[in-house]
Amino acid sequence: MADYKAPLRDMRFVLNEVFEVATTWAQLPALADTVDAETVEAILEEAGKVTAKSIAPISRGGDEQGCRWEDTAVFTPDGYPQAYKTYAEGGWVGVGGDPIFGGMGMPKAVSAQVEEMINSSSLAFGLYPMLTSGACVSINTHASEALKATYLPKMYSGEWAGSMCLTEAHAGTDLGIIRTKAEPQADGSYTISGTKIFITGGEHDLTENIIHLVLAKLPDAPAGPKGISLFLVPKFMVNADGSLGARNLVSCGSIEHKMGIQASATCVMNFDGAVGYLVGEPNRGLAAMFTMMNYERLGVGIQGLASGERSYQNAIEYARDRLQSRSPLGAQAKDKVADPIIVHPDVRRMLLTMKAANEGGRAFSTYVATQLDIAKFSDDAAARERADNLVALLTPVAKAFLSDLGLETTVLGQQVFGGHGYIREWGQEQLVRDVRITQIYEGTNGIQALDLMGRKIVGSGGAFYTLFADEIRAFIASAEATLAEFTKPLSAAVDNLDELTAWVLDRAKTNPNEIGAASVEYLHAFGYMAYAYMWARMAKAALGKEAEEDFYASKLGTARFYFARLLPRIHSLSASVKAGSESLFLLDEALF
């Protein structure tokens, strides 16, 4: 496996040249005095070093060894506790955290780049700080000042970790039917009883305490999702002076044996009358948890991107070195017994597909992260509302499309290796096993597509979509003629999605099945159109500079490949959507 190298040049390009994020930050008072170009550059450089030197080298060993469960205790692989300590001491767990409680206070557009680096170096390792950061978001947004002061500083510092406890054996996506109970106590606390499954980082040996955010129901809670409350449940109780007290009545009953992410502890967690504290309002827990989940869903999309990036780095090095056959045009490396496989058209197809998907995904995830920053930090109510609506629209696309393409690109990297890609020592098969979970957790991609189609498109009457489409049209209208080779197919892609959106909106009025039938293909058509917008913006930033630096020439060549070979996928996707739902219901259940 090639040594991991953070794609810092491309990250700088996206932040500084494509989106000019410094201009956006300057208009957000909460960030204007916190973020500057020098600080961001230092953060990216240092994150690149720590992930490449401390995290990436333990990824394969962590996969080979996996986590170990012994009588409720979980032990991570060799090297993980020390690597986590190094990562935490650098302040990386709190890179996006509130400075009032010791976080760095960086915008999401910056922390998203750090997330990519940590997940490229080891997706399993990256899950531990990811869950902690997400838990901090919910606590900081919804918890009392006392809870924030007690828990956030230690969580941002990485001394304590966090987990998100939603799923139960009988209740996956349908959280309204959870059975975990919360009983109020005279001192204002609650006792939490129930069992949660698939809990990432529910137990481990990386930190001295773990803070669980748990969904549970109060005795008088209404039925369904409106009866869910959110509780903070520490592994160890915290004394008034901040020191750790007695062990709480929460324990790990087992860990799952999984396809991938072997070094990430996926736990069954038992709450046996554990002491917990209400976060936010009673029966409003799902809304509080969704504050965390919007950030986590973008984060899961970034995991897909990160896996594709790591696979690409391995594949391009292999393709340059591996000698096999001669080019269709004749010998290129005449001094060698064969040409490197990068001369072959199909290998180039695979590599360029990976490169175009990765770089398009990096731009798109940064765009969504910037909208999150505007929604959080802007003092302009209209700007906040617009950004909120865009985040609502684009979050399911970011989660599902980035992770779907993440699997595709990771598998393509494995394919470049041929038989060696199937052999453990080259690292590609681990990446394929690890990335597969990204399409499943934080809401399966089918659920994300249903959210996009049902809640965000049909639910808004197409208004959220129009907001995004109008922005793209404004970009096209303002573009110079030299950009026409990119804006013309982009315009056609927007027109196509306009028509597709109108078709589904119309059919859904008389047949609710059309929403679910169209959702996955619609999300993919949306994703390819959104990436076309990203690639047009990147082409604009690169055009005219190709003689200055090979980077820009590479960017323009990849943009042309995207528009020529990947964007046309929207036509088959659109045809599938317009085929309607009828064929899905031709078979009675017994005929399957």
Please measure the distance between the N-terminal and C-terminal CA atoms of the chain and give it in whole angstroms. Answer: 43
Looking at residue 176, what is its pLDDT?
82
User: Is the Cβ–Cβ distance between 557 and 546 less than 8 Å?
Assistant: no
Look at residue 18 and give its three-state secondary structure.
Answer: helix
Looking at residue 2, what is its pLDDT?
83
Map 349-368 to HEC letters.
Answer: HHHHHHHHHHHHHHHHHHHH
User: Is the Cβ–Cβ distance between 115 and 302 less than 8 Å?
Assistant: yes
Respond yes or no: is residue 485 known to be catalytic: no
Domain range for 513 is: 445-585
Q: How far apart are CA 575 and CA 569, in angstroms?
A: 10
Of residues 527, 522, 532, the one with CA closest to residue 473: 532
Q: Does any domain span residue 414?
A: no
Q: Does any domain span residue 462?
A: yes
Q: How far apart are CA 367 and CA 437, in angstroms?
A: 24
- Kind of pairing between the strands at 160-165 and 209-216: parallel
Q: Does any domain span residue 484?
A: yes
Looking at residue 291, what is its pLDDT?
81
Burial readout 455-466 (b: 16 or more C-beta within 10 A, e: otherwise): ebbbeeebebbe
Looking at residue 555, what is its pLDDT?
98
Element housing 164 (H / E): strand 160-165
Side chain identity at residue 535, one-letter code: W
Burial readout 240-263 (b: 16 or more C-beta within 10 A, e: otherwise): eeeeeeeebebbbeebbebebbbb
Element housing 514 (H / E): helix 513-542
Q: Does any domain span residue 222?
A: no
Q: Which residues pair with 217 in a beta bridge?
A: 181
pTM exceeds cut of 0.95 = yes
Q: How far apart are CA 107 and CA 111, in angstroms?
A: 6
Looking at residue 299, what is its pLDDT?
97
Q: How far apart are CA 155 and CA 292, in angstroms?
A: 15
Cα four-point dihedral sign 490, 493, 495, 497: negative
Number of domains in the chain: 1
Q: Does any domain span residue 573?
A: yes
Backbone angles phi, psi at 2, to 5 degrees: -65, 150
Report the chain (592 residues): mean pLDDT per 10 consecutive residues.
Answer: 93 98 93 90 98 98 98 97 97 96 96 98 98 96 97 98 95 86 98 98 98 97 93 98 97 98 98 98 89 88 98 98 96 96 98 98 98 96 97 98 98 98 97 98 96 97 98 98 98 98 97 97 98 98 97 98 98 98 96 96
Q: Does any domain span residue 16?
A: no
User: Is the Cβ–Cβ distance between 2 and 317 less than 8 Å?
Assistant: yes
Q: Does any domain span residue 522?
A: yes
DSSP string, 115-163: HHHHHHH-HHHHHHHHHHHHHHHHHHHHS-HHHHHHHHHHHHTTSEEEE
Tokens encoding 231: 């509780």
In 411-531 the beta strands, taken as DSSP E runs, fall at none
Greatest alpha-carbon span in the chain: 84
Looking at residue 290, what is its pLDDT?
79
Residues 6+ apart with CB under 8 A from 481: none
User: Is the Cβ–Cβ distance between 404 and 304 less than 8 Å?
Assistant: yes
Q: Does any domain span residue 553?
A: yes
Q: How far apart are CA 449 and CA 515, in angstroms?
A: 9
User: Is the Cβ–Cβ distance between 235 and 405 less than 8 Å?
Assistant: no
Instruction: Write down the catalytic residue from 442, 499, 521, 589.
Output: 442
Rounded to the nearest 10 degrees, what angle do helices 484-508 and 513-542 cross at? Answer: 170
User: Is the Cβ–Cβ distance between 342 and 377 less than 8 Å?
Assistant: no
Residue with tokens 């045009």: 329
Side chain identity at residue 548, one-letter code: E
DSSP string, 261-276: -TTS-EEEEEEEEEEE
User: Is the Cβ–Cβ distance between 103 and 140 less than 8 Å?
Assistant: no
